[in-house]
Amino acid sequence: MKEKVSLAVVRRLPRYYRYLGELQRQGVDKISSGGLAEKMGLTASQIRQDLNCFGGFGQQGYGYNVEMLRGEIASILGLPRQYRTVLIGVGNLGRALVSHVGFEKRGFSLIGLFDVREDVIGTSIGAHTVLPMSELEAFCLRERPEAAVLSLPRAAAPEVADRLVALGVKGFWNFSNGEIVEGEIPVENVHLGDSLMTLCYRIQSEENQK
């Protein structure tokens, strides 16, 4: 069943998870697809369709149990998993990711940080000391990371990604703005600039309507 689910649906699951978490914090026990739709800016039928991809979870005339649905979505997302993860490129962006993104809550556990720059190697961020890229192979053969965050310059990304694939890495979170490995390995590309350009369009579009 899961293999048929489109990436567009999958991408909405973390949003459901987030909104359901907010409802839980507000003490809401149950919600109709219509109520959830309104909060999320979707339609009730889209929500029912999305969740039906995974087997439903709602009860006619009752709606969704918030805690249960959130638990189901967590388990669909694979959140009990903790993929061992390395982060390559400890500049401002890499540091921001280490300190701002709750990796553990989202299925990943950071086990090593790497950089090529002498002034960064050996510095600490939280519990981690930055290692030199020359130790990447030895580290990976020993620690077997399953995922990698690429917060390094675009030009360096493809070669580093290929090294990591050869070392068994099975998925990338890619901030390098470049194309990396092709094919079957999941790559989540984050293009922050796309969101900024969308904002530009939206501000302009509001102005034009005045």
Phi and psi at residue 45, in whole multiples of 5°?
Answer: -75, -30
Report the residue number, 61 or 119, with the smaller CB distance to its own copies: 119
Residue from 195, 197, 161 nearest 176 by CA: 161
- With 0-12 / 13-18 / 19 or more C-beta atoms within 10 angstroms meaning exposed / middle / buried, residue 107 is middle
Task: Evaluate whether 128 touches 110 at the Cβ level (below 8 Å).
Answer: yes
Confirm or reject binding of residue 205 to its own copies (CB under 8 A). Answer: yes
Nearer of residues 27 and 61 to its own copies, judged by Cβ: 27
Would you say 106 or 163 has its CB closer to its own copies? 106
Least gap, CB of 177 to its own copies (angstroms): 8
Query: 34 vs 24, 44, 46, 59, 110, CA distance in Å?
Result: 17, 5, 10, 13, 38
- For residue 20, the tally of other CB atoms under 10 A from its CB is 25
Determine if 207 is a binding residue for its own copies (CB under 8 A).
yes
Under rule CB under 8 A, which residues in 162-191 are in contact with its own copies? 170-173, 184-186, 188, 190-191
Tell me the β-bridge partners of 124. Answer: 129
Q: Number of residues in contact with its own copies, rule: CB under 8 A?
A: 61
- Under the binding rule (CB under 8 A), the answer on residue 106 touching its own copies is yes
- Measured from the CB atom, is 60 or 208 closer to its own copies? 208
Three-state SS at 108: strand
Residues in the site for its own copies, rule: CB under 8 A? 2-3, 7, 10-11, 13-15, 17-18, 76-79, 81, 83, 91-93, 95-97, 99-103, 105-108, 146-147, 170-173, 184-186, 188, 190-209
